[in-house]
Structure 1
Amino acid sequence: MISGDSLGAQIARFGLVGIAATAVHATVAFSLTFTTSLNQLLINTIAFLVAFCFSGAGHTLYTFRVQENHAGAVAKWFVISVAGLCIGNAIIFAGMNWAGLSRAIAQGAAIFGTVVFSFFGSRLWAFRQGQEQGGVE
């Protein structure tokens, strides 16, 4: 068990929750892919939403240990998650179309950029405690 609220401990907990949420996303996506005839974009959206619920709970209760206003923190996490999805897609698009990167390199850059954005957005806004947060409440 990772203890403490140091930056390093939060990064480690963020990573654990993120890995687990990715596994949830993949499980839902592949289960629906192989058992239904739903559109793949709809399947991915459903998997994203299920994984979001998992990660929202994990980051609220475990990563950042939010003590109050869980609904406000999760609403902010949703904004960060959707923004991260958009940022990742933008990195992939720009990397492949403007910088000439391969799909794999662009995907790797998108994952890295999204994780960094998501962690600091979470730490500094969505799950920030002890100070007036402003924004979505």
Structure 2
Amino acid sequence: MHNINLGQLVSFAVVGVGATLTHALAFHVLYAWVDVTQLPANIIGFLVAFCVSYLGQFKWTFKTEAQAATCQKKAFMRFAKTAAIGLLLNLAWAGITIDWLGLHHYVYLALLMFVTPVVIFLLNKFWVFK
């Protein structure tokens, strides 16, 4: 099992914050300014953020593990599955907070920015790049 080191945690946070802000900004612009409903706004935000996350995590945070992976395709597929889990988690947050409870979309954005990234880091560290 891999240990978590501070440098890797910091680089994950930098990339993750960038990807999360990308998703949050795209969602906010589409949902609040363009009047797109939350589901398509989330999917578009996710797709843009996925590109940011993929490049940052494969090329910086988990570069050593990615290069050492015996199968790059398998690592990418795990990464994509992990990202899909993050998307589903965020869609659940949005459905509960916005659609079901009728809360302001900022409540959803707080969950998207502070809870989902922890889940994604743990999945990347201990499953995708193991």
Contact 1:88 1:114 in 2 (8 A): yes
The equivalent residue for 2:5 is 7
**Residue 102 of structure 1: how far off its partner (Å):** 3.1
**Residue 96 of structure 1: how far off its partner (Å):** 4.9
**Residue 77 of structure 1: how far off its partner (Å):** 1.1
User: Which residue identity does 1:117 align to in structure 2?
Assistant: V
The equivalent residue for 1:102 is 103
User: Which residue identity does 1:106 align to in structure 2?
Assistant: Y
Taking a change above 3 Å as real, the CA distance of residues 59 and 87 of structure 1, as seen in their structure-2 partners, is same
Q: How many residues align?
A: 117
**Residue 52 of structure 1: how far off its partner (Å):** 1.7
The equivalent residue for 1:17 is 15
Query: RCO (CA 8 Å, sep 6+): is it higher in 1 or 2?
Result: 2
Q: Normalized against structure 2, the TM-score is what?
A: 0.65
* Structure with greater proportional helix content: 2
Cα distance in 2 for partners of 1:75, 1:97 equals 31
Q: Normalized against structure 1, the TM-score is what?
A: 0.62
The secondary structure found in structure 2 opposite 1:72 is helix
Unaligned stretches of 5+ in structure 1? 34-38, 129-137
The equivalent residue for 1:77 is 79
The equivalent residue for 1:93 is 95
**Residue 46 of structure 1: how far off its partner (Å):** 5.1
**Residue 121 of structure 1: how far off its partner (Å):** 0.7
**Residue 93 of structure 1: how far off its partner (Å):** 2.5
- Identity across aligned pairs (percent)? 28
Cα distance in 1 for partners of 2:115, 2:107 equals 12
The equivalent residue for 1:115 is 117
Taking a change above 3 Å as real, the CA distance of residues 7 and 95 of structure 1, as seen in their structure-2 partners, is farther
Contact 2:46 2:87 in 1 (8 A): no
Contact 2:22 2:49 in 1 (8 A): yes
Max Rg structure: 1
**Residue 75 of structure 1: how far off its partner (Å):** 1.3
Cα distance in 2 for partners of 1:52, 1:71 equals 16
Aligned CA RMSD, in angstroms, stands at 3.5
